[in-house]
């Protein structure tokens, strides 16, 4: 209930699934074969002084620490919503762009730290960490924050709180993890804002995307989740229980959202004149007119991979607001 994603698993997220399986598999393999771990150490001193450029590839892909691998996997699993929203190619382009940018920013931050504190940073935590931290930029900017509950009457828990807690746990796992986190946030901000047209320079070519679609996607694609099948069609007891939990979660979120909308609607507008009385909102103006036809919105949501039933329910709950309905579907 605290996360921004539901229990639809890795459906329509083959790249996220491949990252989880391959990178975690390599982490387990290196844990069992410690004599090969030296090849995957992210050693800045070896890159600059001994010209071991290959460490930029090996040292920035596979986590050598199991805790880092676990936390980054949780974040990748939650951030799979961006692969569903933007598509696999754009999601891969974002990871590629931030991976390349963060390699440069890592060295710049290490040099700045040495200049300020007279301390040379020789090694950094290994793994796909900076691109994972860079995904917090679109997560903060594009995922709506919805209150879930309150702790001690003052601390508000939202649907994004758990993701930030996992990111904080990853941030505090090693002494220089903050450098990779700062590098990832800077890289994510630059790429997300298309600074210097970076999205036109660092991207996954179409021919690479086609190769991945025909070769890799059949290996890592997931089947349609069972939550969209009827309960009486041979579903197991665990699936039925999970479906009921998801339904209660959606109903609770919708109730909280509607309550927040009603509270915001009843709050008086500041100022000398009550402009809402003089100029009623478009929603109230359209109540006496013909009802809106959600057919184009439904078709658009179906093209994005959602079922027609879910699309109709989301549009009905959001009063045919396509953006709000999309956010709601991506969160479940």
pLDDT digits (tens, 9 = 90+) for 288-297: 444 444 567 8
CA distances from 84 to 13, 52, 91 (A): 6, 37, 9
Residue 139, H or E segment: helix 136-142
More confidently predicted of 331 and 287 = 331
What residue ranges of the chain are covered by domains with CATH 1.20.1540? 14-221
* Average pLDDT, integer, range 219-235: 57
* pLDDT bracket for residue 237 (50, 70, 90): low
From the number of C-beta atoms within 10 Å of its C-beta (0-12, 13-18, 19+), residue 254 rates as: middle
| Residue 307: per-residue pLDDT | 80
* Average pLDDT, integer, range 232-249: 52
CA distances from 113 to 109, 169, 182 (A): 6, 23, 12
Percent of the chain beyond pLDDT 70? 75
Q: Identify whether the C-beta of residue 54 lies closer than 8 Å to the C-beta of residue 61.
A: no
Model pTM? 0.70
Distance CA 322, CA 332 (A): 16
| Residue 208: per-residue pLDDT | 93
Residues in the chain: 332
Q: Of the spans 137-146, 213-222, 252-261, which averages the highest pLDDT?
A: 137-146
* pLDDT bracket for residue 243 (50, 70, 90): low
Reply yes or no on whether the pLDDT at 58 is more than 90: yes
Residue 45, H or E segment: helix 44-49
Reply yes or no on whether the pLDDT at 10 is more than 60: yes
| Residue 304: per-residue pLDDT | 75
* Average pLDDT, integer, range 93-116: 96
For residue 205, give every residue at least 6 positions away whose Cβ sits within 8 Å of its Cβ, in sequence order, or none. Answer: none
Q: Which CATH architecture has domain 14-221?
A: Up-down Bundle (1.20)
Reply yes or no on whether the pLDDT at 218 is more than 70: yes
Reply yes or no on whether the pLDDT at 66 is more than 50: yes
CA 296 to chain centre: 27
CA distances from 45 to 37, 49, 101, 102 (A): 17, 6, 19, 17
Quote the crossing angle between the two packed helices 161-171 and 66-78, to the nearest 10°. 150
């Amino acid at each position: 209930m605290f996360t921004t994603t539901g229990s639809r698993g890795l459906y329509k997220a083959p790249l996220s699934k491949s990252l989880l399986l391959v990178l975690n598999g390599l982490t387990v393999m290196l844990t069992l074969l410690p004599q090969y771990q030296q090849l995957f150490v992210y050693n800045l001193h070896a890159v600059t002084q001994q010209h071991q450029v290959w460490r930029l590839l090996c040292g920035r892909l596979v986590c050598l620490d199991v805790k880092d691998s676990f936390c980054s996997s949780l974040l990748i699993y939650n951030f799979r919503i961006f692969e569903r929203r933007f598509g696999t190619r754009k999601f891969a382009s974002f990871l590629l762009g931030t991976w390349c940018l963060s390699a440069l920013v890592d060295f710049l931050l290490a040099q700045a730290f040495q200049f300020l504190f007279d301390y040379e940073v020789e090694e950094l935590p290994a793994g796909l960490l900076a691109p994972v931290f860079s995904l917090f930029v679109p997560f903060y900017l594009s995922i709506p924050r919805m209150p879930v509950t309150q702790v001690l009457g003052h601390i508000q828990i939202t649907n994004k709180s758990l993701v930030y807690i996992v990111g904080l746990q990853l941030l505090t796992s090693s002494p220089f993890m903050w450098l990779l986190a700062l590098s990832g946030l800077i890289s994510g901000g630059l790429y997300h804002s298309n600074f210097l047209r970076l999205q036109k320079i660092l991207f996954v070519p179409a021919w690479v995307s086609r190769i991945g679609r025909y070769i890799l996607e059949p290996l890592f694609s997931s089947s349609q989740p069972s939550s969209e099948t009827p309960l009486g069609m041979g579903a197991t007891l665990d699936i039925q229980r999970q479906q009921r939990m998801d339904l209660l979660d959606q109903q609770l979120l919708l109730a909280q959202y509607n309550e927040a909308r009603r509270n915001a609607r009843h709050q008086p507008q500041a100022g000398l004149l009550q402009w809402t009385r003089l100029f009623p909102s478009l929603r109230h103006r359209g109540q006496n007119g013909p009802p809106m036809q959600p057919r184009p919105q439904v078709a658009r949501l179906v093209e994005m991979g959602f079922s027609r039933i879910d699309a109709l329910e989301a549009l009905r709950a959001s009063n045919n607001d396509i953006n709000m309905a999309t956010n709601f579907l991506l969160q479940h």
